Chain A
Amino acid sequence: MNTQPSKNFNGSEPEPIILVRGLTKHYGNLIAVDNITFSVIKGETFGILGPNGAGKTTALEMIEGLKQMTSGEINLDGLDVHTHAREVKSRIGVQLQASSFFDGLNLKELLITFASLYGRTADPMELLKKVELDDKAKSKVKELSGGQKQRLSIAVGLVNDPKVLFLDEPTTGLDPQARRNMWDLITQIKRQGKTIVLTTHYMEEAEVLCDRVAIMDHAKIISLDTPFNLLRNSGVESTITFRADKMCPVEHFASLPAVEKAVKEDHGFRLISTNPEETLPALFLHQGDCQFKLFDLQLRQATLEDVFLKLTGRKLRE
């Protein structure tokens, strides 16, 4: 398991902004977070992926200084979170799962109020523009849609120009359109060089947004790597299906590189490959050998969903 990334995106030495060591949380007999260790690199988007109840939110809230840890050590931007909670809070921005805001204030007033909590003044219109809510500056929170509320929540999280932005399930409960919008927004924030730590139980979200992903299950981190490495090293197979205009013995396909299994089906063939990048070129070459033409070629690649299933033996959303 590769917990320390070897290289940053631009090739410079990776500079961790968050160091978590042996972080543990007990509620009575229940162990919510069990001795997890990882680090987050400055400028990366780090995802914590796992099913409901895996301990993602508890872990996140301990790092944010919102929850007391039972044991362990957290260092954020050079500060011990346990002893410098208030200073840490002033350097981070958070979006809590299901947090709501004052009903009596409009969005502009709300951002001014929150800026004052950091002892700052902010430009509310610029923040609202950033999350595409500038036309709602005079609206109340209750007049916003679910997606708009989440975007507001991110604007509030950015009110102190934080070094790290924490997002707890930023797209849970959103419709697909709103989820896409949210991904665009997070990508934009990421491009501005902010470090982002997010939790999610959507595999696709982790694949799209995250530079590295920690997979959490039953209070533990069971795997941590880039989405690419997680897929490649997991040993989860991809499936290639196609039809041929002329017959070719199924044994030929079974002997192609990286093919684990080849099956003749009613209207074609199905190959299980551990590495489709090796299998596919060989398959195209084989057309010449056996004088047939491929059509209806389909590749279903492994997803993090499959990785999770392989690692835990369970589906992610059960």
Chain B
Amino acid sequence: MNTTFTLTRSSIKMFLRNKQSLFFTLFMPVMIMVIFGFIGFDNVPKIDMGIVANNPNQPTQQFIDQLKQISAFHVTTGTLDNERNALQKGERAIVIEIPDNLIPSLAAGQGQPAPQLTKQTITVLQNVGQQQQAQTATTILSQMLDKTTLAISQAPDLFEIKTEDINARNVKYIDFLLPGILAMAIMQMSVFSVAFVFADYKEKGILRRLLATPMKPYQFVTANVITRLLIALAQTAILIALGVLLLKAHVIGSYFLILLIAILGGIMFLGLGFTISGIAKTVDSVPAIANLIVFPMLFLSGIFFPTSAMPNWLQHVVQYLPLTYFANAMREVMANGAGLLDIWKDLVWMGGWSVMLITLAIFTFGFEQKRA
């Protein structure tokens, strides 16, 4: 016990003095969180619309101004050639060519019969690459034209939409991002700090030197595992504090459950870290092996964007990744206030992954350099 305690204390000192592991453990996740948090993906991008009108009469100009005020559009005006070029470069979703006399001047006074109307044609160029935006824009455009038609023909409005603003608690992007970044940070720390440090200990013969003492190998492994689980808890506290204070994230779930998930995720990925240091023959081969496994998970496990944005077949695959369960459970608790009953499936899967990875680690990891 005393041995494990002293070893743990030494191992914490070593971890905190290692600038490289501190960088991967804290600095990098904080940096990524802050950058993505400030970019903010909450605002839906506007539809780029080009309007071509040479010399519109006054009512037509009013119509154009109305178009410009619609918040879903980002409107630019120019000549047909310019706008067509811009569309071809992908800078416009849609280009609308509006005839000068789209809407006739109602020069005559009130009570006069409607003037003779001729059908006007609006030419619309749609960007095939942004079909969805172009179609939305076309729909809005035709609605406005319908309304104008009715106004000119002086028909009464038969329908009215009454809107009311309600303040809802919407899950903002930072609330989605923070649990993901937290899971990512714990994974990075667990995998890299163990894989690098133990491969290094093995290569330098430090583990062998330890074997020449009466220490039991499990004592050394335990000390290192305890160290990293404590670091995982520190990561959780620091990232949540920064997310809440700096980026106004909301954490509504149970902190006890959050810490429990952090520990379980830590154990799961420590198993992976020990496996990698067992497979790696030298320290130099650690980053290749570790990144091969860790890097795809960063993008496939719903850390930065929901997996629902992926094609169906891919969703079926990525839902089984250990990081997916980890990030999911964390997010359900932090952002949606889920309880143990809501996330038990995720926890069971994480437990299963832990058992598998630890078993693999037991088979691959040894204190001595394997003889060729």
Chain A contacts to B: CB under 8 angstroms: 27, 64-66, 86-87, 89-90, 94, 96, 98-105, 109, 112-114, 116-119, 160
CB A98 to nearest CB in B, in angstroms, measures: 6
**Contact, CB under 8 Å: B14 / A104:** yes
Chain A, residue nearest B213 (CB): A117
Instruction: Give Cα A102–Cα B371 distance, bound, in whole angstroms.
Output: 23
Given the contacts A104-B14, A113-B10, A116-B7, A96 and B205 also touching, CB distance less than 8 Å: yes
A117 and B214 contacting across the interface, CB-CB below 8 Å: yes
Which chain B residues border A116 with CB–CB below 8 Å? 2-3, 5-7
A98: which B residues are within 8 A, CB to CB? 205
CB pair B205–A119 under 8 Å, yes or no, is no
| A96–B5 alpha-carbon span in the complex (Å) | 26
B102 smallest CB distance to A (angstroms): 76
A104-B213 contact, Cβ under 8 Å, with A66-B208, A99-B206 = no
Q: What 7 A-B pairs are tightest by C-beta distance, nearest first? A: A104-B14, A116-B6, A117-B215, A90-B214, A117-B213, A99-B209, A100-B204
Q: A112 contacts B6, CB within 8 Å? A: yes
CA distance A101 to B13 in the complex (A): 15
Q: How far is the CB of B194 from chain A (nearest CB, A)?
A: 15
Q: Pick the contact of B18: A99, A104, A109, A114 (CB < 8 A).
A: A104
Residues of B within 8 A of A96 (CB): 205, 208-209, 212
B13 to chain A: which residues have CB within 8 Å? 104-105, 109
Tell yes or no: B210 within 8 A of A by CB. yes
Are A105 and B14 touching (Cβ within 8 A)?
A: yes
- Interface presence of B169 (CB below 8 A): no
For this complex, into which size category does the number of interface residues on chain B fall? 20 to 34
Q: Secondary structure at chain B's binding surface: helix, strand, loop or mixed?
A: helix
Q: Give the distance to chain B from A54, nearest Cβ to Cβ, in Å.
A: 19
- CB-defined A-B contacts under 8 Å, sample of 10: A65-B212, A66-B208, A96-B208, A96-B212, A98-B205, A99-B206, A101-B209, A104-B17, A113-B6, A116-B3
A112 / chain B contacts, CB cutoff of 8 Å: 6, 10
Pick the contact of A117 from B3, B5, B206 — CB < 8 Å? B3
Q: How far does the alpha carbon of A182 sit from the alpha carbon of B360 in the complex, in Å? A: 45
B211 in contact (CB, < 8 A): yes
Q: Say yes or no: A100 contacts B211, CB within 8 Å.
A: no
Q: Is B205 in contact with A99, judged by CB distance below 8 angstroms? A: yes
| A119 touching B3 in the complex, CB below 8 Å, given contacts A87-B214, A99-B209, A100-B206 | yes
Question: Across the interface, which residues of A come within 8 angstroms of B7, CB to CB?
Answer: 113, 116-117
Contacts of B209 in A (CB 8 A): 96, 99-101
Residue of B nearest to A103 (CB): B14
Query: CA separation between A114 and B216, bound complex, in Å?
Result: 13
Inter-chain contacts of B211 with A (CB < 8 A)? 66
**Residues B214 and A86 in contact, CB atoms below 8 Å apart:** yes
Evaluate contact between B213 and A118: CB separation under 8 angstroms: yes
Question: B164-197, CB under 8 A of A: which get 1 and which 0?
Answer: 0000000000000000000000000000000000
B10→A105 contact, CB < 8 A:
yes
In the assembled complex, how far is the CB of residue B282 from the closest CB belonging to chain A, in whole angstroms? 15
Is A102 a contact partner of B10 (Cβ separation < 8 A)? yes
Cα separation A27 to B208 with both chains bound (whole Å): 19
Which residues on the B side are within 8 Å of A117 (C-beta)? 3, 7, 210, 213-215
CA of A103 to CA of B206, assembled, Å: 10
A17 to B214, CA, bound (A): 19
Q: Are A102 and B2 in contact (CB under 8 A)?
A: no
Q: State the Cβ distance, A26 to closest chain B Cβ, in Å.
A: 13
CB distance from A264 to the nearest CB of B (A): 57
